[in-house]
Amino acid sequence: MQYLFSLGDDLRFASYYGDHMVLQKAPERAVLWGYGTDNTTVVVTLSGLSARRNYSSYVSGGIWRVMLDPVKAGGPYKVTAAQKGGSLPEVTLTDVLFGDVWLCGGQSNMAFTVSQMYNSSAELAMVHKFPNVRIFQAARESSTVELADLSRVAVHWSVPAADLLGGGDFTHFSAVCWVFGRQLYQTLQYPIGLVESCWGGTPVEAWSSSRPLRRCGVPQAESSHNYFMPYGLEVFAGPMQNSVLWNAMIHPLLNMTITGAIWYQGEANSNHNRHLYNCTFPSMIDDWRMAFHQGSGGQTAPDFPFGFVQLSTWQKSSVDDGFPEIRWHQTADVGYVPNDRLHRTFMAVAVDLPDGHSPWGSIHPRFKEEVAFRLSLGARAVAYGEKGVAHQGPFPSAVDVKDTYLTVTYNQNISAEFSKDIFEICCSKEQTPCDSPDKFWVVVPMVPQGPTTVAVSLGGCERNHVASLRYAWRDWPCDFKACPIYSSDGLLPAPAFFRHLRL
């Protein structure tokens, strides 16, 4: 159902509060706010278990706001708002839980629903086992100004059910968001709240305030034309204008205390300000962190954990479609996260999850369960500090140039297979970096050499002419779970990398 919210003299909560909601647990404090009659006092009562606490707020500009004391994970609780000494009827929310709240954002691969994913029947059949994983979905809306509240809600806070999660293509609840939350619950064993706010075919600029866009030199008057939708799904294309989704679908949520966020986006930027993505994406994360921290009265961490999916695949052809560059830029051109630029982040590598037979086009692979699993590993390690949880694939720690081959040493033990075409070297007498996609790149074979090393042929290039090395630097570098280098247990693929060996 979808509802329209507007200011008035009635007493009510803001759009994203409701029965069955999850509020952020202790040690953080949850914020509640809503609408009332000016110059009156609203009393908010939290009751349940053995607790009953009252909070008062003076209504100014039609808005009241309270910050609850810290509440341990659990429930259910009841939340009541009443006008002190007034005639307006009180408003009560029931079956309220306290746990961790995660925001899920991005474009169509985040909007990809549970019913569209592989193994959807089995996933939907066990939904009833997770009544404490609650879902909420913002409706797709855009605005040229920052909104205080959501103008519409697509799915109000709900206890999950198969008919609710099994909705239509790209329009119901996110598969990645749901499975991520379900997997976290299986580890944490306390309530998880999932807030989805995403729209297919949208660039990072639409989800960013003007602050990071100015910082990165993005023009402030972008065209509204949806010119990136080459895969025949124009019906799912969202707005391209700067900040319009930040204004309508993120800014209204800033008062909410959250644990962290996960993100699946980047396809729309492969043909839109691609060269700026190594600035716009990290800067958007910085800005969201600052804004949620301030909006929640300091309760959302100023460096809250942020996880993202590194782009999967789209085309097998060798055309320059920008996907390798976006993958690299997603890491701020480092190749892995967390790093000095992207602290408290985690990444699910998805380059080994192609789906050439997806009914929704190969740009929409159906392996969302694996993506969510890799994200959950990152959350357990980075957000929750769980020891012994491997969440990163192997990454080179050293590259040594020999007379006829390169030795690539990884930062962990690896599981490796021979490959004839996953590595490329730039062979050039010039001293300039090999940044051009067609500049002297030679495909060369690699063979496993030891528990942490592989040997890469120079392919006839003279040792002094080996300028750069790159791995998996194609849109579609390998088949399903068949990249040549994984962690020693075979679970986590090595991400793409690019390294200049001679400047």
Quickly count helices (H) and strands (E) in the chain: 9, 23
233 pLDDT tier (thresholds 50, 70, 90): very low
Ranges 94-108, 224-238, 296-310: which has the least confidence: 224-238
**Vertex 201 angle, CA 199 and 207, to 5°:** 55
CA dist., res. 80 & res. 259, Å (int): 24
Question: By the 8 A CB rule, do 35 and 12 touch?
Answer: yes
Burial of 424 (0-12, 13-18, 19+ CB in 10 A): buried
Whole-number percent of the chain with pLDDT over 70: 93
pLDDT at 503: 46
Residue 433 CA, chain-centre distance (Å), reads 32
Render pLDDT for 262-300 as a digit per residue (tens, 0 to 9). Answer: 999 999 999 999 999 999 999 999 999 999 999 999 999
Asked if 312 and 477 count as a contact pair (C-beta separation under 8 A), the reply is no
Beta strands 345-349 and 12-13: pairing type?
unpaired
* 355 CB-near residues (< 8 Å, 6+ apart): 312, 313, 362, 364, 365, 366, 367, 480
**For residue range 24-34, what is the model confidence (pLDDT) as tens digits?**
999 999 999 99
Domain 12-95 has CATH 2.60.40.10: yes
For the chain, the straight-line distance linking the first and the last C-alpha, in angstroms and rounded, comes to: 58
Element housing 420 (H / E): strand 419-427
Strands 441-448 and 419-427: antiparallel
Q: How confident is the model at residue 381 (pLDDT cuts 50, 70, 90)?
A: very high
243: left (phi over 0), alpha (psi -120 to 50) or beta: left
Amino acid at 349: V
Domain range summary for the chain, segments of one domain joined by +: 12-95, 98-383, 396-500
Is the pLDDT at 320 greater than 80? The verdict is no
Summarize the chain as % helix, strand, coil (round to 5).
20, 30, 50
Question: CB-side exposure of 125: number of CA atoms within 13 Å?
Answer: 4
Range 64-68 average pLDDT: 97
pLDDT tens for 402-449 read 989 999 999 999 999 999 999 999 988 876 667 655 568 899 999 999
What is the predicted pLDDT for the residue at 221? 64
Contact residues for 288 (Cβ-Cβ < 8 A; gap 6+): 250, 261, 306
- CA 473, 477, 478 angle in degrees (round to 5)? 155
Fold of 98-383: Rossmann fold (3.40.50)
Whether the predicted model's global pTM rises above the 0.75 cut: yes
Consecutive H or E run containing 377? helix 368-378
Residue 173 sits at φ, ψ, to 5 deg, of -85, 145
